Amino acid sequence: MKPQKLVSEQFVPRPRDEVFAFFARPENLGTITPPWLDFQVLTPSPVPMARGALIDYVIRLGILPTRWRTMITSYDPPHGFVDEQLSGPYSFWHHTHEFIDKDGGTLIRDRILYVLPFGPLGAFFAGAFIRRQLDVIFAHRRKVIGARFGGGAVIDHAPPMA
C-alpha cells in the first residue's frame, strides 16, 4: 500500500543549534504533544540520541494506551534526524525532522510517510479520521513551538492523500 504523506513547516526566530537541541531530547516530545494523548517516553532519561537509538513511548489512542517503539535511523546534528516505527499503531511510519537556517532563524520541516494497519480496509475506514488527528496534533505542536521559540510563520503543506 502506498504511504500517505504529511509535511509541516514552521519558521522560528531562534538559532538552528538551539532548536535542534530541543528536538534532540525525546523527553521534550511530551511538551509538544497534546495533553489528551497522555504521551509518555518510557525509555529512561536521558535518552542518548544517536543513530540506532531505540525509544519507547506510550500514547493514548481513543481509550486505549498504545505502546510505540521507534529507532533513530539517521542522526545529523544540527541538520536533522529520522525516526522509524519498529512497533506501534501504524504499519509503517517514517518521520524526517529537518532544521534549516533561514532568515536569521530556523525552518523546522517535518515530513512523515505512514501506512495504516489493515491495508485498504484500514485506509478506507480510518484514513480520513487519522489524517484529521495528525493535523490536530501538528497544529497543537506548532502552537507550542511558537510559544516556546517565539512566534513564527507556519507553512502547512498537505500533499493530496494518495
Question: For residue 124, how many other CB atoms are within 10 A of its CB?
Answer: 11
Q: What are phi and psi of 123, to 5 degrees?
A: -65, -40
Determine the residue type at 143. K
- Which cell goes with 126? 480510518
The answer to whether 81 and 66 are in contact (CB under 8 A) is no
- pLDDT, one tens digit per residue, over 6-51 is 999 999 999 999 999 999 999 999 999 999 999 999 999 999 999 9
- pLDDT, one tens digit per residue, over 43-83 is 999 999 999 999 999 998 878 899 999 999 999 999 999 99
| 158: pLDDT strictly greater than 70 | no
Q: 59-75: buried (b, 16+ CB within 10 Å) or exposed (e) per residue? A: beeeeeeeebebebbeb
The answer to whether 2 and 160 are in contact (CB under 8 A) is no
The CATH number corresponding to 4-157 among 3.30.530.20, 3.30.70.980, 3.40.50.720, 3.40.120.10 equals 3.30.530.20
pTM of the shown model: 0.88
Beta strands (DSSP E) in 13-160 are 40-41, 54-61, 64-76, 80-87, 92-102, 105-115, 154-157
CA distance 32 to 40: 12
Q: Is cis: bond before 44, omega within 30 of 0? A: no
Q: What percent of the chain has pLDDT over 90?
A: 73
